[in-house]
Amino acid sequence: MTTIEHWINGSLTQGAATATQPVFNPATGAEQAQVVLGGGADVDAAVRAASAAFETWAESSLTQRTQVMFNFRQLLVEHEEELGRIISAEHGKTVDDARGEITRGREVVEFACGLGDVLKGSFSDQVSRGVDVHNFRQPLGVVAGITPFNFPAMVPLWMHPIAIATGNTFILKPSERDPSAANFVADLYKKAGLPDGVFNVVHGGKPAVDAILTHPGIKAVSFVGSTPIAKYVHEQATAHGKRVQALGGAKNHAVVLPDADLEFAANHITAGAYGSAGERCMAVSVAVAVGDAADGLVEILERKAREVKVGPGDQPGTEMGPLVTKAAQERVENAVGTAAAQGATVVVDGRGLKIEGHEEGFFTGPSLLDHVTTEMQAYKEELFGPVLAIVRTDTLDEAIDLINANPYGNGTALFTASGEAARRFQRNIHIGMIGINVPVPVPMSYYSFGGWKDSLIGDSPIHGPEGIRFYTRPKVVTTRWPQQSQQVSAGFNFPTSN
C-alpha cells in the first residue's frame, strides 16, 4: 500500500504525522493508498523551511523567478497525460477532463511568466522642487493555500504560480481525498529549478488547516471550498492578522430565453451540469426556462442527459465519471429522492446506476428535475453532483429577480439571440462572473476569478490582477537629492507641492 507523504524543503517526509487516511479509486471503490495526516508540527516544519527559503527567494531577480516558471510550464505540458491520469484515479473525473483542468491551471503559470510587465511600478518626476516619487510592490513572505478535492491541479495553480513568481514562498494543504497531484506538482517545481523550501505540501484535515490559520509565520491564506468553511477560514485567519482569499460555494443558474437556439443551449447546459459529475463550483445546477422555452428545453435536456456516457474516467469515450466518495454518491442520490418527495418531477433519474465491472464504484447517473421551486432543497442547497434542476419563469426580469434573491453569486449564464436582453441581464444581475451563450464563464488567467454574495467571503478574488495585489504589498518612496553646495533648511510645516 502506497503512503503519500508531505513534501517539505524539497523532499518527501512523513514528518510528525502518526495517523493516515485511505485514498480510494472512485471507479472501483477500492482503497489504493494511504495519505499521512499532518498537524501543527508538520505545518511548523513547512513554515520554517519556507521562511528560510524566503530570505534568498525574495531577493532573486525577476528573470530568475520567471525562468523557473517557464521551465515549470514546459514540464506541465510534457507530463500532462501522467498528471491527468493521477487526478482521474483519485478524483474519478475523466482523463480528458483532468487534462482540461491542467490546461486552465497552466494558463495562470503563463500569466506568471509575464509578471515583468505587470509588476512595473510608476514614477512621478518633480512632484515638488527637486523631489520625485516612485512606487513598487514587494512579496509578503510565507503564504499558504487550502484547496478542495474537485480540481486538485487547477485550483492550486490559481494560487502558487503567482505567489512564487512575485517572490513569496508557499505551503499547500490539498484535499486529503486526492492528494497525489500536489506531490507530483512539487516534484515538477524541483525539476524546474525552484529552490528547496519555496514550495511545500502538508497533507491533513482540520488540524492542519487550523495550524495554517493560526501560525504567526504565515502572512496570507488562500482558500477555495464550501461557504461555511470559507467563512470559518476568513474569520480565523483575519483574527490572526493574515490576508485572506476565501472563495465559497455556488448555485449557478443558466437562463434560456424563447429566442435562443434550444439545441445549442441544451447541449452546453448538459455539459455544464454533468461535466466533472457536477463536482465544481461553476457547474450549472439550475436552468431557468423563460416562457415558451420551457417545454422544448426540457425535452431536449432529457434526451441529452440520457445520452451522457457514464463510466470509469480512464475508459475511452467516457463523458462522466463517478463521484469522489461513497458519501458523496449517497448524498446526491438522497437529494434526488427528497426533490421527488417535495413535488419536483424527476424527468431523468440517475440513482442506482451500476457500471459493469465496476459495481462497487461511486457512480450515479445524470438526474434532471423539472418544476423545481425556490422552496425545495434541490434548489436551495449546493448538491455538488450531476443534478440539474429546471425552474420556470414567465419573463427575463422574473428570472433576474429569482437569481438575485439567491444567497450565492458565483456564476450565471444567459442563452439568447437578443443583444438587448443580454445587456440588460449582465447589468442587472448580482453575480460576479457572467456568460452570454457561455455556460461556465470561468475567466481567463489575466482576469480574476471570484463571485459575489456568499460565494466570496471578504473582497479578494483569485489570480489575475487581484492575485498580484493579494500576494504583494506596495511601497511608495519620496526622494530628494540636493546638490552638495545647496543648503536646504528643514521646515516644520506640513509638506505641500509648493
Q: Collapse the DSSP code of 325 into the 3-class scheme (helix H, G, I; strand E, B; otherwise coil) and give the result.
A: coil
The helix, strand and coil proportions of the chain, stated in percent and rounded to the nearest 5, come to 40, 25, 40
| 452-453 and 408-409 beta bridge pairing | antiparallel
- Cβ-based neighbours of 484, under 8 Å, separated by 6 or more: none
CB contact at 8 A, 198 and 164: yes
**How many CB atoms neighbour CB 469 within 10 A?**
16
**Catalytic entry in 281, 283, 400, 457:** 281
Task: Count CB-CB contacts under 10 A for residue 118.
Answer: 17
281 noted as active-site residue: yes
Who contacts 425 (Cβ-Cβ below 8 Å, separation ≥6)? 255, 396, 400, 414, 416, 434, 436
Cell of 260: 435562443
SS3 call for 448: coil
* Residues in a beta bridge with 476: 135
**Cα 378 from Cα 362, distance rounded (Å):** 21
Contact between residue 246 and residue 471 where contact means Cβ atoms under 8 Å apart: no
Cell 523550501 belongs to: 197
DSSP character for 462? Answer: B
3-state SS assignment for residue 425: helix
Indicate the pairing of strand 456-457 with strand 433-436.
Answer: unpaired
CB < 8 Å & 24+ apart, contacts of 351-354: 353/310
Active site residues: 281
